[in-house]
Structure 1
C-alpha cells in the first residue's frame, strides 16, 4: 500500500487535495468500504480531527471522489468525441486517446466506481446516467459524419461496450499490441478504412511509428 507522508509543520491539517488523493488511492486498492476517516488519517500520519477542516463528513469525501470521476472520465470522453476531425476514422482515433492516456481517462477509477455502485443504488443511478451521456456523445459523433441515428446508436453501443468490457474484465496488456490493432478497430466500428496519414498522426502522438501500427495492404491499414 502506498503511504503518503506529507511534510508537516505544527498544527498542519493537510489539504483537501491530499485527503482526496488518499481516499482515491484507497478506493482503487481496497474498495469503498476501506475509505474511512480514521484509516486515511493513519495513512497520512495526520490526526483524525484534521480531516474535518476540509470535509464535513465521510459522505462529503465520497461525493468528492464521485465528482472527480465524473469530471475526469466522463468530461474528457465527451471532449474527445467533440474534438476536431475530418473523418469518422479520425474522430474515433481521437476517442481512442482516452483508452491509452491515464491523464484523459482513469480506467482503474472507472472500475472502482462500477464495483462501488453494485452496493449503492444512488451511485448506480449516477453511473447509469453517466454511461448514457457517454453513449449519446459517441452516437452524436457518428451522426456528425453522416450515419443515420439508429445506426449511429448501435455503433456507439459497440464502441462503448467494447471498452467497458476491457475495464470490467480487468484486461491488462501493454499498450503496443492494443495500439497496433486500433486501425482494425476503426474499420470494425465505422465500416471505413483509416488513411495512412490518419494512422500516422495517431501513432505519432502515442510515440510510435505508423509502420509499427499498420502493415500496408492495398492502401488499407491492417495487422
Structure 2
C-alpha cells in the first residue's frame, strides 16, 4: 500500500498535493471508502454524532469532503458477519481508504477480526489515508498514554506496518492537543523512532521511503 499518515486530515495544500501524487490521478477521478470503526472505541468520539460527521464529511478534518468521484462506507465490525465476496471486491476497486481517528487499538482489533489486515499486502496501488488513530494503527505501538480501549491481549501493540510510532495533535503550550513535553515523555516509553506532529503535518510511505510533508510543526524523537 501507499500510505498518507496524517494527524488532522488533508488540512493544507502540501498534504493534498501529496495525496494526489500517491493516487497518481486527480481526487475527482478517484474512488474512496471511508472507515469510521476507530470512532466507536473512543469515549470522545462515536458512536453517534461524530461518526456521522466523519462519514458525511462534516467533521472538520478534511478527508471525505475532498471532492472524490465516489465515497462509500466500510464498517469493519460488520464484515465478519457477511461473505467476503460482498466486501473484498469493493476494497480492491477503491483508490483510497479513508480511516478515521478514534481508538487505534479498537481499530487494530477489528482490522484483524474482519480480515482487512490480511488483504492489505495485495493492495499495492491503494492509498491508505489515516487520520490520527487511523495513522497510529499502522505503527508498532501507540504507548500507554493513548490507550482507552484494551484489547484481549491487554497491550498497546498495533500492526507494525511501519517502523516508527506517531504522537498526533502536537500543539503549542496552552492550545488543545499534546504538548512537546508530553510528546517527549510519551516517546521515552516507545522503542524506536517516533514522530510528534501537528495537524498541518503528514507522513508519506511509498516502497519503504518515508517523507514528512508539513506546513506546520513536527519533530522526530527517539531516533
Query: Which bin holds the TM-score, normalised by the shorter protein?
Result: under 0.3
Larger radius of gyration: 1
Greater fraction of residues in strand? 2
Structure showing greater relative contact order (alpha-carbon pairs closer than 8 Å, 6 or more residues apart):
2
TM-score by length of 2: 0.24
TM-score by length of 1: 0.24
